[in-house]
Structure 1
């Protein structure tokens, strides 16, 4: 059996991840020549993760970690092996942003304590960065935090990831502590 894949103009570096009949063919989307893809934000659907999106969300997070750290030990990320059990089944929120059923960003909200939510697993696919997706995603996670009655949210990131730290500061987060290479940031919800 042959599988035909049609790519939109401008895509390069395409790699087939799966072409099994029992699975939906999954393509790792290449980058446009300038390194990012324009995204029509009106077409981005941010919603709770669906079962069919688990593998794409896991891949997205792990690729982001590998990009930042230069290596990846998947055994350090067991929550991604079963996102439903790790998040939704425990009452947490795991959101994805998708375009044409393709996961382009994700993030989760877990309870830190009864008044504080913790944002984890924020990731935007490299070709989709600088299009406002992270802002839409974190805004959605903050709305979920308010719905749950949290008065503040916190997160951790690596202190020398200046793009991430700068992004969170632009969204109203302030550095409240350091733990090794990590910086802890928090925001009061209004």
Structure 2
């Protein structure tokens, strides 16, 4: 992959989110910025990470919200309308522990069979880090603050609230791994 994929991903995300969901678009820009910073850990996977960061929430776009589960809707859109590369589509479908939320929604088997979890654990953790350290408005935050914000926004007993409480230990683990790797990098 080249930086052409990141340019394409940003254009697609902007087209789908910037007007319809401007706050989600600001979040997306922040997630892509975090992914760019983390990219130095990945080497050749950097472009894939940045493209996935740009597209991770595209399934929220009103015209794409078929199932109401944005990772699945976004991945299907990328596969069906754009014939996007399989690794990118699988990463978008599985971003930020989406399989756990899919369980809450009765969509686990559908998501897992259609879009298997990517094999590259560092790439998966890097996308979790990028998403879960970015506020809804695109600013920086801690994973703990982000989880609390999500619970506060959706409610603890909502589908999203139940999912995020279940996912929190894994989110904190993924973020911790990336933070440790970043701290170990020479400046």
The TM-score normalised by the length of structure 2 is: 0.31
Higher strand share: 1
Structure ranking higher in helix proportion: 2
Q: TM-score, normalised by structure 1?
A: 0.31
Identify the structure with bigger relative contact order (alpha carbons < 8 Å, sequence gap 6+).
2
